[in-house]
Amino acid sequence: MRGPLFISLEGIDGSGKSTQARLLAQALRAAGLPVTLTREPGGSPGAEAIRALLLTGDTGRWSPETEILLFFAARRDHLERVIRPALDSGQVVVCDRFTDSTRMYQGATRGDLRDKVDRLHELMIGVEPDLTLIIDMDPGQALARGLAREGAEQRFEDMGLGFQEKVRAGYLALARAEPGRCVVIDGAGAEAAVAADIARAALARLAR
């Protein structure tokens, strides 16, 4: 097994993506693979500055169109400075969210903007993950978990249960539409069990 391989983790807020991304990076390193662990929005200094604008403040702070532009500005910087160099050096990149999050959160749930998201992705990013692991769980449980976390980055959790239900439905539709790239992982189990399922899926893809 060897890289490069680009893996993204997706799912609704509170589904455990950040924890599972970290555990996956640990498992892959234990298997002897070079790994870059990163996140979106963020991952590079410029993108982290934009993250603070996007994830804090009032729920109506930005229009969906403005959010899309901010996310893609952060993503382009992240791609140039972190993701592409890591892949070019043969590493496995494990990323907590990528363009699919923008497709779901802004493109599908905050207006009929999916076409704009896809066109911006094609123009400015042009890269899809080799493997996308969608952590699926009940939106009510996930939202309760997300709101229980301390910190200011809760702008999307504050949009409520109905919003998270729409996001979940969007992710499951994406998995049905792109079965070659997307694998749905049951996120309702114990943390270690979910991590084992994720590691198996990633290692199976690396073994191809």
> Looking at residue 12, which CATH number applies to its domain?
3.40.50.300
Number of domains in the chain: 1
β-sheet bridge partners, residue 37? 94
168-177 contacts at long range (C-beta below 8 A, 24 or more positions apart): 168/12, 168/136, 168/139, 170/103, 170/104, 170/108, 170/109, 171/10, 171/11, 171/12, 171/100, 171/104, 171/134, 171/136, 172/134, 172/136, 174/100, 174/103, 174/104, 174/134, 175/134
DSSP string covering 134-170: EEE--HHHHHHHHHHS-SS--TTGGG-HHHHHHHHHH
What pLDDT is attached to residue 14?
Answer: 85
What pLDDT is attached to residue 152?
Answer: 45
* Tens digits of residue pLDDT in 148-192: 455 544 555 565 688 888 889 999 999 999 999 999 999 999 999
Distance, in Å, from the CA atom of 47 to the CA atom of 74, rounded to the nearest integer, reads 4
- What's the one-letter identity of residue 34? P
Range of the domain at 32: 5-206
What pLDDT is attached to residue 87?
Answer: 97
What pLDDT is attached to residue 58?
Answer: 78
Sheet containing 35-39: give its strands across.
35-39, 92-96, 5-10, 131-136, 182-186
Please give the DSSP secondary-structure letter assigned to residue 32: T
Residues of the chain with pLDDT under 50: 148, 152-153
* pTM recorded for the entire structure: 0.90
What pLDDT is attached to residue 148?
Answer: 45
